[in-house]
């Protein structure tokens, strides 16, 4: 899950907000948008999810720092040792002892109980991976650890305590509905305790009834030659497992290519700059130029100007869109002017000027 919108805006706080500010903002908004207060309102429900997600990230110093630096946060991007917790839509990490507003704990317990008891597809996960420039053009097999939610090993994903028996829900008398009265109005709502199924189970003690537990897992992917920053590769079924044996989500691997001191990639083309002496540029020469395949010999024609681009066809990065094809390499010439100090060199330059009296500014006005 990637946070496309600004989490600070979602929580209506500024970027310097303290942890207490964040908690206060979350409590205020959670009370306003909680599904129980807005039954059947999809917009409020969506908003509540986003608020909760924003809170989850900004209330955790490590995740907040990652978000501030990268502009997004997704499950699995931090090292496994830092994220050995429950992921996704949960309230972990919230310290109730600091919470003086007692009605907030009602929100919490309701959110737990109202989870539907039917299969749901698991969340997609995103994992950011950094590779070198060389690796991005050659491709490479990447192995890394992720933390994902998987079916609970104790209850097999059912959420039911092994050996316990299912019974009829006491709150709704097994109907799955509850009749509420507000003034003269009477309306029927889905029973929050059983999620409308009319049945209650004894929640599995290991996964708390959710059927999922977090687990570290090693995954492997072949990064094809030509991957670039922001390339997004999918590993099907390696997102979070689905609730109650619903299908698993997918894992998306997002590539970031480290900068190279010499090469710069733009599309499938590779750009670089190479210095030339005035003499080399004026008389022409042959020089060696680094390419991603090694050194190549390039002919510099006489009269080459500063800033001129030389194109080396087919020496760019492999194309992901057109397999088998490669971009070009562009070499920008940087003419280095000598700093002459001795009289003899100055004399030669003056003679050179006399022999070549052209005015480079003649066309300017
Ligand atoms: Zn379980
Ligand atoms: Zn019920």
Q: Which segments in the chain show pLDDT lower than 70? A: 1-4, 76-117
Largest CA distance in the chain: 107
pLDDT score for 30: 87
The alpha carbon of 240 and the centre of ligand 2 are apart by a number of angstroms equal to 28
Whether the CB-CB separation of 170 and 211 falls below 8 Å is answered with: no
- If you measure from the C-alpha of residue 166 to the centroid of ligand 1, how many angstroms do you get, rounded to a whole number? 15
Rounded to the nearest angstrom, the distance between the alpha carbon of 39 and the centre of ligand 2 is: 16
> What does the pLDDT read at residue 257?
94
Task: Quote the CA–CA distance of 154 and 205 in Å, as a whole number.
Answer: 9
Confidence (pLDDT) at 3: 46
- Of 72, 48, 57, whose CA–CA distance to 22 is shortest? 57
pLDDT at 116: 55
Helical packing angle, 19-33 and 42-58, nearest 10°? 170
Distance CA 45, CA 87 (A): 19
Q: What is the pLDDT of residues 19-35, one digit of tens each?
A: 999 999 998 888 888 87
201 CA to centre of ligand 2 in angstroms: 11
Q: How many angstroms separate the alpha carbon of residue 210 from the centre of ligand 2?
A: 17
CA distance 244 to 353: 85
Q: Which ligand is nearest to the CA of 200?
A: 2
pLDDT of 85: 35
Ligand nearest to the CA of 177: 2
pLDDT at 187: 77
Taking only Cα atoms into account, the Rg of the chain, rounded to an integer number of angstroms, comes to: 32
Ligand 2 being an ion, which residues bring their Cβ within 5 A of it?
169, 171-172, 191, 193-194
Q: Which are the contacts of 173, defined by CB distance < 8 A and separation ≥ 6?
A: none
């Amino acid at each position: 899950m990637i946070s496309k919108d600004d989490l600070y805006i979602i929580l209506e706080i500024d970027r310097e907000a303290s942890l207490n500010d964040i908690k206060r903002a979350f409590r205020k908004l959670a009370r306003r948008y909680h599904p129980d207060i807005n039954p059947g309102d999809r917009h409020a429900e969506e908003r509540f999810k986003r608020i909760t997600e924003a809170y989850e990230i900004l209330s955790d110093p490590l995740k907040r720092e990652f978000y501030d630096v990268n502009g997004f946060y997704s499950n699995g991007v931090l090292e496994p040792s830092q994220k050995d917790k429950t992921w996704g839509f949960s309230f972990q990490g919230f310290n109730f002892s600091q919470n003086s507003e007692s009605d907030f704990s009602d929100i919490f317990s309701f959110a737990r109980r109202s989870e539907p008891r039917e299969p749901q597809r698991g969340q997609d996960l995103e994992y950011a991976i950094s590779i070198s420039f060389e690796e991005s053009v050659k491709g490479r097999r990447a192995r890394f650890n992720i933390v994902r939610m998987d079916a609970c090993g104790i209850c097999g994903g059912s959420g039911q305590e092994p050996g316990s028996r299912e019974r009829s829900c006491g709150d709704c008398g097994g109907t799955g509905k509850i009749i509420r009265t507000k003034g003269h109005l009477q309306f029927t709502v889905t029973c929050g305790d059983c999620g409308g199924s009319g049945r209650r189970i004894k929640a599995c003690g290991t996964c708390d009834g959710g059927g999922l537990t977090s687990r570290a897992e090693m995954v492997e992917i072949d990064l094809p030659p030509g991957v670039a920053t922001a390339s997004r590769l999918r590993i099907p079924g390696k997102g979070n497992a689905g609730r109650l044996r619903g299908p698993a989500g997918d894992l998306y691997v997002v590539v970031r290519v480290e900068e190279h001191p010499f090469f710069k990639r733009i599309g499938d083309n590779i750009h670089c700059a190479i210095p030339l002496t005035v003499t080399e540029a004026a008389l022409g020469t042959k020089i060696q130029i680094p390419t991603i395949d090694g050194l190549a010999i390039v002919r510099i024609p006489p009269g080459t100007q500063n800033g001129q681009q030389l194109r080396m066809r087919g020496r760019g990065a492999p194309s992901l869109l057109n397999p088998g094809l490669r971009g070009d390499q562009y070499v920008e010439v940087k003419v280095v002017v000598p700093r002459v100090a001795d009289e003899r060199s100055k004399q030669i330059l003056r003679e050179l000027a006399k022999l070549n009296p052209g005015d480079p500014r003649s066309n300017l006005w």
